[in-house]
Amino acid sequence: MKEVYVIGAGCTPFGDLHTRDAVAMAREASFQALEDAGVDISDIDIFYVGSVRSVTSGSFLGNALGVRNKPVTRVENFCASGMDAVRQAAIAVMSGQARIALAVGVEKLRDATRRGLGFRSFHPVFVFGATPPGLFALAANRYMHTYGIGRETLAKVAVKNHRNGAKNPLAHFRKEITVETVLKAPIVAYPFGVFDCSPVTDGASAVVIASRDVAEGLGKAQVFIRGFGLAVMHTEPMYDPSFKYTGFPVTTEAAGQAYKMADISRPLEEISFAEVHDCFTMTEILNYEDLGFAEKGEGWKLIEEGVTELEGKFPVNPSGGLKSFGHPIGATGARMIFEVYSQLTGRCGERQVKNAHTGLAHNIGGPGTVSTVMILSLRS
């Protein structure tokens, strides 16, 4: 398969975007990415749009961008929708189906008529009334009980990510917080308080993918997609007797696929930084272990020892993560690729990761139903 490059990326501010609908946000992010890449909308051979609730078909993006008679596909895969759209674009170019592809992630949630995602279940009783905070809280309680950590450790994840997000002009929340603030916040689903949870957010992000010959012709053969993986379990993994709730097997599987494709065997040494799915503070700690950055039961040590701070040995969520940047579900994965690309091209100012050469992006959704991992590197 052909080597493919990210040649441009764009992102709207994330937050309460009450004056912009999904069409306006998708258009804004897309034309930012096209301008960054130095290509025109007519140069794009194939389009993908990732969304969970705001988009019903590919024709949405066609209408938003004025595209006619070209392939446009909607991608929906829970919280992995945006990154899966980027993955589909990469596959289209790698296979030779397209020379240039555009992937867009978009979600409009702040004006929704109901709070959060809700939860769809095939079981008539067991998941009635369940919410994402409640389901991820089960994992948090099991991990805290098994490995003997307290809420203070979880709070340090929120503090770190808000500190990074305060440096990010596009982030939903640009304010530093303290451990005390996190611990004293109202409880949503124990052990999660308000500041342990990612916010409901509006936003869009877009990524332009191109073949090597196109990238070289544009002088953009700098950041290439080194590997990716996608794994899916059944819709309700909590009913699997082997599901321990101290980690998410789909992340481990998706990461294994990406590492194999990228020829990475020691992720903590071979990757410079990571953008991971911190929908809740505990989830980031579980991700450390599931992605192979720490041994099982020791992920919490990375946050306690400052390893994942912006100035630490292995920065995680330099953007501010979902916790501070925000989580418009279908846009998040594409936004992560925007962040990794921006870091590798040295555009991140005071939150720039030093000497960044390889970045990893990761989503999980469901919870524990689907995960995707993508690795980007600088061309040496």
The residues annotated as belonging to the active site are: 79, 327
Name the DSSP class of 366: T
Contact present, 280 and 266 (Cβ < 8 Å): no
Residue 126: burial class (beta carbons within 10 Å; 0-12, 13-18, 19+): exposed
Q: How far apart are the first and last CA of the chain?
A: 20
Q: What is the C-alpha R_g of the chain?
A: 19
Token representation of residue 198? 């990612």
**How far is C-alpha 145 from the geometric centre of its chain's CA atoms?**
28
SS3 content of the chain, % helix, strand, coil (to 5): 40, 20, 40
Name the DSSP class of 244: -
DSSP line for 314-354: S-B-TT-HHHHH---HHHHHHHHHHHHHHHHTT--GGGPPT
Nearest to 26 by CA among 101, 80, 93, 105: 105
User: Residue 44: helix, strand or coil by DSSP?
Assistant: coil
Contact present, 316 and 290 (Cβ < 8 Å): no
In the block, residue with structure tokens 């059944």: 234
Please give the angle made by the CA atoms of 330, 336 and 340, to the nearest 5 degrees. 160
What is the rounded distance in angstroms from the CA atom of residue 300 to the CA atom of residue 134? 21
**Positive or negative: CA dihedral 186, 188, 189, 195:** negative
Rounded to whole angstroms, what are the CA distances from 293 to 169, 279, 300?
28, 18, 11
**How far is C-alpha 362 from the geometric centre of its chain's CA atoms?**
5
